[in-house]
Structure formats: structure tokens, C-alpha cells
């Protein structure tokens, strides 16, 4: 049985013309070989799997060739080329800097540079992953790199150019290798498949090319994996199954449904995708890329930016005709926000569902257009859903939302009828006055500092309703939550304070220290105005004082808190002994 060799090694380029996607660099290197104008040090940098080490080997072979071609390629027949092909050349040395990164390794390399080549013109030293050298090794390498012997050429290769010392960079000719385009990768995979006698679908190779993310070595490795799974017939369905890639058809369906405002169908499709084991964040990321491609397909000038197969490009163009620019912009913004919040979210599925619902609302007609009010899209959306009959397999989340909405409507109608049946003086004040006051307050957001003590817009002069301690504490906390950002410090302190009704409507607040008291005194008028408005009593007075020594509560440590809990509840001690727990 013939020994199996992976495609990445079997089809590794042996000439400059065979290198894929780096035509500008290979042309420059061939011209350098033809003219004989060779630098003493080269730096090849770029992403993984794009041909840096391969080009370094081809270049080293070409500059040592005894009879190079007119195009600057190695002949492949001379003694030097034969020795290189059979891996017995003493003129070309490869060093892996990832495992040979110390000063001793560099000094050993420097000693080898003194010996001239026995066959050929140059000794070529290829140092791969050169960014892994230590700082001391770089410094030991500097002098030799700047003024090497005339028969020595260094070729350095790295994926992280930013980690190399500037003094090294200044001594090299730098060649930046590009990522492979999807088109170049597909063409190369087609050539490999034809040589191996493997049947394929263009769309399947496009999935492999996109998965490789610009690396030809990665593309060939994935290709070998797909060949093993598909047994010589690479199809789209088998490839996405083998690579666990979400079918792009799902993205097309979601956008089509979103344009038609079909939220229920989107929820059902989302549930099917999640049940197949795909993560919601992966779906949002893929959908954002899909919408970006649709946006690029909208304009003929940006159409070349699509790195997809010809068949996929046509589908993007067809969907782009259905989608408005505003829809695509807003959808991208919503998905970008979802992607930012996804990791911090405690309910990731709900976040994805809400994002898809909002995307489906973008093209929904606005309610009350021309009324000057912002439409309430969510309410309108579920009103539409309640009017439509649902299929048996509709998502349970939608049915639950309808039931909750229906119950709220019934409660609201019942509450309104009850209020209308009560006499106007049933609780000691006028319903008409309350409605008028509520309407006035709905036009403004009252926060401390926004009203003075005598603001006529927020206070009804003859209003003196009684309020409970619970009402006071609730409005105090709500006031702290509404305070502006520049008062966030004092707002946090005020949340820990407990206002007390001494004698209706007199309110007293005990403050821990003088600094907090001074800060609260500056905004006392705003605090008092806010309490009068929200507690409906313009006779409220407010006293603030520093707490006495006996009123101050000492903050307990965690150990003291546990001991207090154990003292109040002996069962905690039994639980601790039972589980053999230790207090950290």
C-alpha cells in the first residue's frame, strides 16, 4: 500500500509560479534572482498557511541553482537542485526559533556562517517563527545580521511582525504576504480534487474555503477531512455536517421572514437551530456576516467584496433586491449590540430572541404616523399575532406572550370599569384632579436638581394627602435611582439612608457623616420638591442631622455576619457540621 501524504505536503509548491495568491511577491523574488541583486536578509511575514516558509525554500533553491531559467526559477536538474529535492543539501539550513530560541542556539548558528558553501554560491539560513527568539538572542544576532559574510543570506519568517525588535526590522527587506482569497482557495482546491479524481460541488468547496479563513494549508487540511468523510464525493450537505457549519439557507430564511414581519416563523426556526446544537451567539455572528454580504450585493461597486462562490453571489443579489437599505443598516446595528452584550447576558437565548424580534419589526408600518408620538412596535406586533391563527407547531414562547397580553388587557378593562363606577369623592379627593395631575407629570421626568422648591409646574398648592412610611421609603429609593450621573456618589449613599416620618408631614433623615450632610444640604431644595410632588403633599418638611454615636451601626465582617446568623439560628451550625464545611 502506497504511503499516504496529506495534501498540504503532497501539493506543496516547488516553483514560484505554483505559489497561489502571492503573485507580486514571487515576481519580485524572481526578478532578484534574474538580476543577481540579492539582499543579505529577508523577512517574510503574514498569516499562517499563506506560503512564507514555502517561498523561502523556493527562493533558497533558486539562488543556489547553477543554471537558473530566464524567468528566475530553479532548473531542478543541477547538482544543487537535486541535493535540495532529496533533502541532502548542506547549503540550506532551517532553524525553528520556537524551540531554538536561546543565545546558545544563535551562537551555534553564527559559527556555521563562517564555513563557505562547498556546492553553489550561498549558504541560506531559514529561521522560522523568528519572533519567538528571546531578547538576548536577538541582540546576539544583530551584528551578524547587519554584516554577514558575503556567502550568507538570512531568510526570516514570522506570523507576528510586531514582536520583532525594530533593530532587526531595519536590517531586512520585508515582504508582507496576503491572506488567500476565497476565489483563489476554491480554484486551488478544484485543481487538487481533479488531480486526485475526486468529485465535488462548488458550494461545498466554498464552505471549505470560508472555513479556512485565508490559509491555504488550513484549506487543504479541511479538504482532506471532507474527502475522508464523503468518500470521494464532496457535497455541500456532507461538508456542513462534517464541519458542523450552520447551513447558509437558514440565514436567507431568517431575513426573508424578517422582511415579512413573521416573528412566529422566526422563533420556530431559531428553536430548530438551537436544538441542533448551534449556539445563539454563533447564529447572530453568522447572520450579521450574511446581512453584510446582502448590503455589499446592493451596489455593483461593492459586489466584488463578496468572497463567496458565483452561485451564492447570485442569491445575495436576489435577496438584496427585496431588502431596503434602512432595514439592513438597522439589522446590523441590532446584531452588533447583541454580539457586544451576549457574553454578559445571563439569559442568552432570550437576548437572541429579542434581537430577532426587533429585526422583524424594522419594516413594520408605524402606528399613528403623523401623530408626533413614537410608535410602540412591540404592542402592535403582538396585536397582529393575536389576530392570526397559529399552526400547531408554533413556538410556545409566542403563545405564552399572547396569553399574558390578553390577561393584561382584561385586567386593565376591569380596573377602568371599577374606577368609573366609584363615586368621585370615594377616597377623599377628585378623580378629575388626579387625572389632570397625572397628565401633567407624564410630560416631564422629575429628578432631583430639576425642580426648585417653588416650581409651580410640579406642585398642586392645596394638595396635602397623607402617606405611609412605606410610601416614603419607596419614593426615596425611586428618587435616588433617577438622580443624574454627576450626583451618583451621593445617590449611592442616600440609598443606604432610611427617612422616617416623625410627625405627619415632618420627615427626618439621619446622615452618617458631615461630608454626606454637606452634599445633601446643597440639593435639599430639589429633594424636598421631589418628595412633595411624588407623595402629593406640599406641606412636607425635611430635617437632616448627623447620627449620634449610639445610632451608628458598625459594619460586620463576613465572619461576624456568619456568627450572628449561627447565634440566631442554631440549625446553621448543624448544617455546617453535617456537610463538614469550613468558613473561608
Whether 376 is covered by a domain: the verdict is no
All cell numbers assigned to 319: 435577496
Whether 495 is covered by a domain: the verdict is yes
Whether 566 is covered by a domain: the verdict is no
Whether 402 is covered by a domain: the verdict is no
Q: What CATH number corresponds to the domain at position 188? A: 1.10.8.60
Give the separation between CA 442 and CA 59, rounded to whole angstroms.
Answer: 77
Residue 136 shares a structural domain with residue 25:
yes
Q: What CATH number corresponds to the domain at position 128? A: 3.40.50.300
Residue 448 shares a structural domain with residue 361:
no
Which residues have CB under 8 Å from 370's CB, separation 6+?
A: none
Q: How many residues does the chain have?
A: 584
278: phi then psi, degrees, rounded to nearest 5: -85, 140
Give the separation between CA 518 and CA 546, rounded to whole angstroms.
Answer: 10
Per the structure, the complete domain to which residue 354 belongs is given by: 248-365
Q: What is the reported pLDDT for 394? A: 42
Picking from 347, 365, 383, the residue at the C-terminal end of a domain is 365
Picking from 243, 270, 295, the residue at the C-terminal end of a domain is 243
**Tens-place pLDDT, residues 28-55:** 998 888 888 888 899 999 888 888 889 9
Whether 385 is covered by a domain: the verdict is no
Residue 308 shares a structural domain with residue 223:
no
Residue 276 shares a structural domain with residue 337:
yes
Picking from 330, 365, 400, the residue at the C-terminal end of a domain is 365
Q: What is the reported pLDDT for 354? A: 92
Residue 27 shares a structural domain with residue 168:
yes
Residues 41, 154: contact at Cβ < 8 Å? yes
Total domains in the fold of the chain: 4
Q: What is the reported pLDDT for 404? A: 45
Residue 47 shares a structural domain with residue 29:
yes
Which residues have CB under 8 Å from 479's CB, separation 6+?
A: 447, 448, 527, 530, 531, 534
Residue 139 shares a structural domain with residue 189:
no
Residue 48 shares a structural domain with residue 151:
yes
Give the separation between CA 15 and CA 339, rounded to whole angstroms.
Answer: 44
Which residues have CB under 8 Å from 296's CB, separation 6+?
A: 302, 303, 305, 306, 316
Q: Using N-to-C axis directions, what is the helix angle for 310-322 and 248-259, rounded to 10°?
A: 10
> If you average pLDDT over every residue of the chain, what do you get?
80
All cell numbers assigned to 269: 426556526
Whether 426 is covered by a domain: the verdict is no
As averages over each run of 10 residues, the pLDDT of the chain (584 residues) reads: 77 86 88 87 90 89 86 84 83 84 84 81 88 87 84 90 88 89 87 88 86 86 88 85 84 91 91 88 90 89 80 86 90 91 88 91 66 43 45 45 50 48 41 45 41 44 81 90 88 88 89 87 91 89 84 69 84 83 74
pTM: 0.57
* 42 phi-psi bin (left φ>0, alpha ψ -120 to 50, beta other): beta
Residue 285 shares a structural domain with residue 225:
no
Give the separation between CA 108 and CA 113, rounded to whole angstroms.
Answer: 9
Which residues have CB under 8 Å from 462's CB, separation 6+?
A: none
Amino acid at each position: 500500500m502506497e504511503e499516504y501524504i496529506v495534501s498540504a505536503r503532497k501539493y506543496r509548491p516547488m516553483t514560484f509560479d505554483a505559489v497561489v495568491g502571492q503573485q507580486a511577491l514571487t515576481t519580485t523574488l524572481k526578478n532578484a534572482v534574474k538580476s543577481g541583486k540579492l539582499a543579505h536578509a529577508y523577512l517574510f511575514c503574514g498569516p499562517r498557511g499563506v506560503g512564507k516558509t514555502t517561498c523561502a525554500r523556493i527562493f533558497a533553491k533558486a539562488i543556489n541553482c547553477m543554471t537558473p531559467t530566464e524567468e528566475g526559477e530553479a532548473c531542478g536538474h543541477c547538482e544543487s537542485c537535486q541535493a535540495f529535492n532529496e533533502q541532502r543539501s548542506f547549503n540550506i539550513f532551517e532553524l525553528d526559533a520556537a524551540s531554538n530560541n536561546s543565545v546558545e542556539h544563535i551562537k551555534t548558528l553564527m559559527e556555521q556562517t563562517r564555513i563557505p558553501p562547498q556546492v553553489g554560491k550561498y549558504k541560506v539560513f531559514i529561521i522560522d517563527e523568528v519572533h519567538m527568539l528571546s531578547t538576548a538572542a536577538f541582540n546576539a544576532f544583530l551584528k551578524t545580521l547587519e554584516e554577514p559574510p558575503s556567502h550568507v543570506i538570512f531568510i526570516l519568517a514570522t506570523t507576528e511582525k510586531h514582536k520583532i525588535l525594530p533593530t532587526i526590522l531595519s536590517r531586512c527587506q520585508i515582504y508582507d504576504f496576503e491572506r488567500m482569497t476565497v476565489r483563489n482557495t476554491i480554484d486551488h482546491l478544484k485543481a487538487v480534487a481533479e488531480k486526485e479524481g475526486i468529485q465535488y460541488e462548488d458550494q461545498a468547496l466554498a464552505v471549505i474555503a470560508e472555513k479556512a479563513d485565508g490559509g491555504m494549508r488550513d484549506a487543504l487540511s479541511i479538504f482532506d477531512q471532507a474527502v475522508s468523510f464523503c468518500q470521494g464525493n464532496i457535497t455541500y450537505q456532507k461538508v456542513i455536517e462534517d464541519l458542523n457549519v450552520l447551513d447558509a439557507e437558514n440565514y436567507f430564511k431568517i431575513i426573508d421572514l424578517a422582511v415579512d414581519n413573521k416573528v412566529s416563523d422566526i422563533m420556530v426556526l431559531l428553536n430548530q437551530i438551537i436544538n441542533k446544537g448551534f449556539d445563539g451567539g454563533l447564529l447572530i455572528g453568522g447572520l450579521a456576516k450574511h446581512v453584510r454580504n446582502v448590503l455589499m450585493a446592493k451596489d455593483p461597486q461593492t459586489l466584488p467584496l463578496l468572497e463567496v462562490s458565483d452561485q451564492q453571489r447570485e442569491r445575495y443579489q436576489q435577496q438584496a433586491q427585496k431588502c431596503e437599505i434602512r432595514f439592513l443598516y438597522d439589522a446590523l446595528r441590532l446584531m452588533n449590540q447583541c454580539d457586544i452584550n451576549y457574553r454578559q447576558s445571563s439569559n442568552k437565548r432570550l437576548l437572541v430572541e429579542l434581537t430577532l424580534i426587533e429585526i422583524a419589526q424594522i419594516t413594520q408600518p408605524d402606528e399613528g404616523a403623523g401623530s408626533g408620538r413614537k410608535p410602540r412596535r412591540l404592542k402592535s406586533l403582538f396585536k397582529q399575532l393575536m389576530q392570526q391563527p397559529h399552526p400547531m407547531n408554533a413556538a410556545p414562547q409566542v403563545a405564552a406572550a399572547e396569553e399574558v397580553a390578553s390577561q393584561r388587557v382584561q385586567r386593565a378593562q376591569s380596573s377602568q370599569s371599577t374606577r368609573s363606577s366609584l363615586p368621585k369623592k370615594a377616597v377623599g379627593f377628585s378623580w378629575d384632579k388626579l387625572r389632570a395631575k397625572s397628565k401633567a407629570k407624564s410630560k416631564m421626568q422629575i429628578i432631583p436638581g430639576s425642580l426648585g422648591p417653588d416650581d409651580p409646574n410640579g406642585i398642586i398648592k392645596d394638595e396635602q394627602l397623607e402617606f405611609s412610611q412605606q410610601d416614603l421609603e419607596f419614593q426615596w429609593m425611586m428618587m435616588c435611582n433617577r438622580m443624574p450621573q454627576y450626583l451618583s456618589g451621593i445617590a449611592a449613599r442616600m440609598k443606604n439612608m432610611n427617612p422616617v416620618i416623625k410627625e405627619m408631614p415632618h420627615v427626618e433623615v439621619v446622615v452618617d457623616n458631615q461630608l454626606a450632610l454637606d452634599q445633601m444640604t446643597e440639593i435639599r431644595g430639589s429633594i424636598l420638591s421631589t418628595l412633595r410632588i411624588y407623595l402629593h403633599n406640599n406641606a412636607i418638611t425635611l430635617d437632616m442631622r448627623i447620627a449620634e454615636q449610639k445610632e451608628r451601626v458598625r459594619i460586620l465582617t463576613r465572619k461576624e455576619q456568619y456568627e450572628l446568623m449561627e447565634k440566631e439560628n442554631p440549625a446553621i451550625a448543624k448544617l455546617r457540621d453535617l456537610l463538614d464545611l469550613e468558613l473561608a
